[in-house]
Amino acid sequence: MAEIELSVLAAQCLDQRLPDPGTPARARAGRARLQAPPHMTAPRRRRTGGIAWWFQQAGPGSKDDGILSPLVPGALGGWLAALERHGTMDRATVFAPAIEYAEGGVPLTLNNHRLWSLATERLRRWPTSGAQFLRGDEPPPAGAILRQPDLARTFRAIIEGGAEAFYRGPIGRAIARFSQEHGGILTEEDMADYEPAWQAPIATTYRGYDILCPPPPCSGIQYLQTLNIVEGFDLAGMGQNSAEYIHHLAEAMKLAVADRATYAPNPAAPVAGLLSKGYAAARRALIDPARAAYSGGERFTARKLPQEVHAGSPASLARESTTHFVAIDGRGNAVACTQTLGGTFGCGVVHGSTGLLLNNFAHWFDDDPASPNVIAPRKRVEMCLAPSQVWRDGRPFLLVGTPGSFGIMQTPPQMLLNVLDFGFSVQAAIEAPRFRTMTGYELPLEGRIPPAVVRELERRGHQPRALDDWTMFFGGGQGLMVDPDSGAFLAGADPRRDGYALAF
């Protein structure tokens, strides 16, 4: 409720849960994924070009914002499935605080105001959105109270009817009706067809720790690969955020990005091969310790430049604008959850009197038919949400995650390495300066990284670009560590955005 512009019922979420006490020491990945509407067949699309052709004809930006951009939302289904399987409270108890905040109001922070100011024009386009989020057609100032009575009524309907009310009942029908009346693509059948899924996580090892994240088409496999590649380097000897360290980690990230963009969207992604240590060694050997490589960027491109980093061939070795939080209770039950509307205010459209903003996850599909992530009926979008868990000796040790678009797969490795290689506390690991690889040789980094390091990175062929000392461009990590000796909980929150570590 405090980040309504980033996450709500009609968002997407990925979470990982630690097992209940007494069950095997294996994490579960609960997946509430967005999927392309099942009904998107002829005449909505042409046989020669599929849905991608249809979006191309709808015009630039049609899948990025507005009434055409929502996919079937998954967060609510995931929340309730997790509550039913692992929860200790009923729906009324769980939703009571949210209803209180929706009716009584939430004060807006400076960060809320900044994000809302950037989205004002989009909200003005839709009377339902402007009425709910703007004041006199302008974004409310920090300190203003946001009340959402329509959303509170939707919460109460969910208490009474559960997921059935949302997907196959009055809420789902209202969402579909508004979409159809305003030229959208969601139908009652699309909503009714949705079911969340439980899947086993994927994992790798790093210096004796087990690192787990949700499986593809979640993009988290990228940072597992990154860790596999850099495991072969003496990172501690290089020094935290030295030029040597940043260069080697950035080059490993570029290799992992190329593999993720090529393989992760595929339902039969070669996970075992991508995460094998032999494959990591082969990819590591491609890193030039003295010279930066050219990255093709964070999304799939059909036409590759000769000099850019290309995806590898794991089959030759083995025959495979967001919110994040972590929580743990006194019994040791814990969850790492990343959820998002896909961008600030999602599609920008409050759907009728439901009070619900829907996502804009059509943006995260490609419209290039050659892409493995091309949009198609019933297809689940490859998504850069990557909550992570670190285990040691069969016990949970560290849970971290972050928002941040494709940067989500580059921030967790930096936070994890700060703990595992450099011995930082969870708070210090989150606060440390960050960087991110982009297209070509571009390397944005926070201004706290010393000028001498920046100059050395330039000498190696990178194009470093210093941003603010603290910036949301590099996410907003939240983390929780379990002391291996005492079992005490140690939490950290990111000062780059609104976030808190609380115990009660």
Strand 442-445 to 463-466 pairing: parallel
Distance CA 43, CA 314 (A): 39
Whether residue 458 has pLDDT greater than 80: yes
Assigned token pair, 310: 């290309």
Distance CA 240, CA 249 (A): 11
- For the chain, the helix, strand and coil percentages under 3-state DSSP, each to the nearest 5: 35, 15, 45
Q: Is the dihedral of CA 166, 170, 173, 174 positive or negative?
A: negative
Provide the pLDDT confidence category of residue 2 given band limits of 50, 70 and 90: low
At 382 the pLDDT is: 64
Active-site annotation holder among 128, 154, 322, 437:
322
Whether residue 31 has pLDDT greater than 50: no
| Beta-strand runs (E) in 18-144 | 28-32, 106-107
Distance CA 225, CA 221 (A): 6
Distance CA 222, CA 205 (A): 14
* Cis peptide upstream of residue 306 (ω within 30 degrees of 0): no
262 in active site: no
Q: Using one digit for the tens of pLDDT, what is the confidence trace for 147-185?
A: 999 999 999 999 999 999 999 999 999 999 999 999 888
Assigned token pair, 161: 């009817």
Least confident of 92-101, 131-140, 189-198, 367-376: 367-376
3-state SS assignment for residue 18: coil
Provide the pLDDT confidence category of residue 281 given band limits of 50, 70 and 90: very high
Assigned token pair, 478: 């939240």
Nearest to 409 by CA among 206, 226, 209: 226
Q: Using one digit for the tens of pLDDT, what is the confidence trace for 344-386?
A: 788 888 998 898 888 887 776 777 777 767 777 776 766 767 6
At 320 the pLDDT is: 30
Segment 38-56 mean pLDDT: 51
Q: Using one digit for the tens of pLDDT, what is the confidence trace for 215-242?
A: 887 888 888 999 999 999 999 999 999 9
Residue-range domain boundaries for the chain: 33-195+346-364
At 192 the pLDDT is: 92
3-state SS assignment for residue 73: coil
**Most trustworthy range by pLDDT among 12-16, 20-24, 162-166, 389-393:** 162-166
Token pair 């209940």 is found at 20
Cβ contact 326:480 at 8 Å: yes
Nearest to 143 by CA among 115, 109, 105, 117: 109
- Residue 298's φ and ψ, nearest 5 degrees, are -90, -15
Q: Which residues contact 219 (CB under 8 A, 6 or more apart)?
A: 260, 264, 382, 383, 384, 385, 386, 406, 408, 409
Apex 152 CA angle, 147 and 153, nearest 5: 130
Q: Using one digit for the tens of pLDDT, what is the confidence trace for 394-439?
A: 888 998 877 767 667 788 889 999 999 999 999 999 999 999 998 8
**Average per-residue pLDDT for the chain:** 82
Higher pLDDT, 93 or 501: 93
